[in-house]
C-alpha cells in the first residue's frame, strides 16, 4: 500500500477545489448557523471551497434562503428538487453537480463538526481516496437507537458481501475518481453506505465526537430507519432469499421425525384422540413461515420492479448559481 500512497500523494493538485455537498430538508432554522460555521470553522489551506446545497423539497423558508445565498455568492450552487426525494437521492444529486477535486458530504445540522473537513483534506493529500468520520460514541443518540443500530450493523456485516464500517455515517470526503465510480452505479435504490463500501479505494477513518442536533429535529423515525435498514440488507445480500429453502428442509425433517414418532406411538399405545393443541401450533407456525418467506421474496420482487422502470433517482426543478438559473431539462444527468 505504501507505494500506491506515494504515487497518489504526488498526484494531488497543489490548489484543489473542495466541494461541500449539503442535503437540506426543512432546515431554515439551521442554515444561518451552518453558514456561520462554514465561514469560521473550516480552514483548509491552499484550497478553494465550493458549496453545493441540494434542497430536497423543503416546505419552510429553506428555498428562499438558499436562492438568495446562491444569487449572492459565486461559490454556492443550489440544486432544487421538484419534491422530497430523500437524503440518499439528495446526496446523489450533490455528487452529480459537484466539480471539485474532492467532495465532502455533510449534514446541515452541525452534527458533523466542520473542523473535520480540514482533517479529511489532510488525509486526502496523504494519498487516501476516502476519509470518513468515525463516531467515537453514540452519546447523542438514544439508547434504543444505539441498540438497534448495533444490531443492524452486526447482522448486515454477517450476511453482506461488502461489509460496512460500524459507527460511520455519510460524513466523508471522496476523491473525484470515487465520485466517478459512484456515478456509474445505475441502481435506483441508493443505500449510500453500502455503495461507498462497494466501490472500494484506499480509505481511512477519522475519529470524531458527534454533536447533538443544533436546531430542529431529526426527521428519521423508527419506521423510516427500519425501511432504511431493510433497503440496505436487501440491496446488498441475497441471504434473506436463500434461508427459506434451508428452513423448509429443516421443518420437513422435523415433520418426518414427528410422523415416525406418532406412527410408533399408534402401534405401541393405540390411537388417542387429543392432538388439537399440537396441530394448531404446527399449522400456525407453518402458515406464518409461508407468509414471511413470501413477504421476503416480495421485498426483492418489489425492488426489481422499481429498478426495471429505470426512473431517475431524482428530478431537478432548477439549478441556481450567482449567474442565475441554469437551464436543466428536469431529469438527473447521472
Ligand atoms: N435530509 C434530506 N432529505 C430528507 C431528510 C433529511 O436532505 O428527506 C437532510 C437533512 O436536512 C440533514 C441530513 O439530511 O442535512 C441529515 O438529516 P437528519 O439530521 O434528520 O438525520 P440524522 O442526523 O438523524 O441521521
Ligand atoms: Mg442530524
Task: Give one DSSP letter per residue of 119-145, joined into a string.
Answer: HHHHHHHTT-SEEEEEES--TTS-HHH
Q: What are the two backbone dihedrals, phi and then psi, of residue 86, each rounded to the nearest 5 degrees?
A: 95, 160
pLDDT of res. 329: 62
CA of 242 to the centre of ligand 2 (A): 35
pLDDT of res. 163: 83
pLDDT of res. 334: 43
Which atom of ligand 1 has the smallest separation from the CA of 219? Answer: 20
- Alpha-carbon span 53 to 90, nearest angstrom: 9
CB 93 within 8 A of CB 57: no
Q: Mapping DSSP to helix (H, G, I), strand (E, B) and coil, where does residue 153 land?
A: helix
Residue 200 is classified by DSSP as -
Q: What is the pLDDT along the chain (334 residues), one digit of tens a residue?
A: 568 888 787 788 889 999 999 999 999 989 999 999 999 988 888 889 999 999 999 999 999 999 999 999 999 999 999 999 999 999 999 999 999 999 999 999 888 899 999 999 999 999 899 999 988 876 767 788 888 888 888 888 888 878 888 888 899 999 999 999 999 888 887 788 888 888 888 889 998 887 777 677 777 778 888 888 888 887 777 778 777 878 878 887 888 788 888 888 888 888 777 777 778 778 877 887 788 888 788 888 888 887 888 888 899 999 998 887 886 665 554 4
Instruction: Tell me which H or E stretch contains 171.
Output: strand 168-175
If one looks up domain 2-221+312-326 in CATH, what number appears? 3.90.550.10
pTM of the model: 0.76
Which atom of ligand 1 has the smallest separation from the CA of 107? Answer: 15
pLDDT of res. 225: 83
Residue 166 is classified by DSSP as T
pLDDT of res. 34: 94
The residues lining ligand 1, judged by C-beta closer than 6 Å to any ligand atom, are 23-25, 27, 56, 84, 86-87, 90, 107-109, 111, 213, 218-220
Q: List, in sequence order, every residue forming a beta bridge with 81; answer none if it has no partner.
A: 316
Residue 310: HSE in the Cβ half-sphere, 13 Å Cα cutoff: 3
- Alpha-carbon span 321 to 73, nearest angstrom: 8
| C-alpha 239 chain-centroid distance | 20
pLDDT of res. 214: 67
Closest CA to 108 of 60, 73, 163, 155: 60
Amino acid at each position: 500500500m505504501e507505494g500506491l500512497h506515494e504515487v497518489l500523494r504526488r498526484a494531488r493538485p497543489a490548489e484543489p477545489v473542495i466541494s461541500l455537498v449539503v442535503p437540506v430538508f426543512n432546515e431554515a432554522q439551521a442554515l444561518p448557523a451552518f453558514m456561520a460555521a462554514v465561514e469560521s470553522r473550516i480552514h483548509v489551506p491552499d484550497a478553494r471551497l465550493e458549496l453545493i446545497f441540494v434542497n430536497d423539497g423543503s416546505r419552510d423558508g429553506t428555498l428562499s434562503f438558499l436562492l438568495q445565498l446562491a444569487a449572492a455568492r459565486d461559490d454556492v450552487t443550489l440544486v432544487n428538487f421538484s419534491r422530497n426525494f430523500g437524503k440518499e437521492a439528495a446526496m446523489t444529486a450533490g455528487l452529480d453537480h459537484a466539480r471539485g477535486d474532492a467532495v465532502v458530504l455533510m449534514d446541515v445540522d452541525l452534527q458533523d463538526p466542520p473542523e473535520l473537513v480540514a482533517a479529511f483534506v489532510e488525509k486526502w493529500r496523504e494519498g487516501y481516496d476516502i476519509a470518513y468520520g468515525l463516531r467515537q460514541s453514540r452519546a447523542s443518540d438514544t439508547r434504543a437507537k444505539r441498540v438497534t443500530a448495533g444490531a443492524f450493523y452486526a447482522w448486515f456485516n454477517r450476511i453482506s458481501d461488502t461489509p460496512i464500517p460500524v459507527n460511520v455515517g455519510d460524513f466523508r470526503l471522496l476523491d473525484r475518481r470515487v465520485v466517478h465510480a459512484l456515478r456509474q452505479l445505475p441502481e435506483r435504490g441508493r443505500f449510500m453506505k453500502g455503495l461507498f463500501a462497494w466501490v472500494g479505494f484506499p480509505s481511512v477513518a477519522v475519529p470524531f465526537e458527534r454533536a447533538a442536533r443544533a436546531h430542529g429535529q431529526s426527521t428519521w423515525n423508527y419506521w423510516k430507519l427500519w425501511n432504511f435498514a431493510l433497503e440496505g440488507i436487501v440491496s446488498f445480500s441475497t441471504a434473506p432469499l436463500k434461508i427459506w429453502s434451508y428452513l423448509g428442509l429443516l421443518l420437513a425433517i422435523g415433520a418426518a421425525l414427528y410422523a415416525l414418532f406418532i406412527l410408533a406411538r399408534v402401534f405401541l399405545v393405540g390411537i388417542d384422540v387429543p392432538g388439537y393443541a399440537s396441530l394448531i401450533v404446527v399449522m400456525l407456525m407453518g402458515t406464518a413461515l409461508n407468509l414471511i418467506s413470501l413477504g421476503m421474496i416480495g421485498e426483492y420482487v418489489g425492488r426489481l420492479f422499481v429498478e426495471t422502470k429505470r426512473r431517475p433517482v431524482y428530478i431537478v426543478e432548477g439549478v441556481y448559481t450567482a449567474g442565475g438559473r441554469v437551464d436543466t431539462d428536469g431529469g438527473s444527468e447521472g
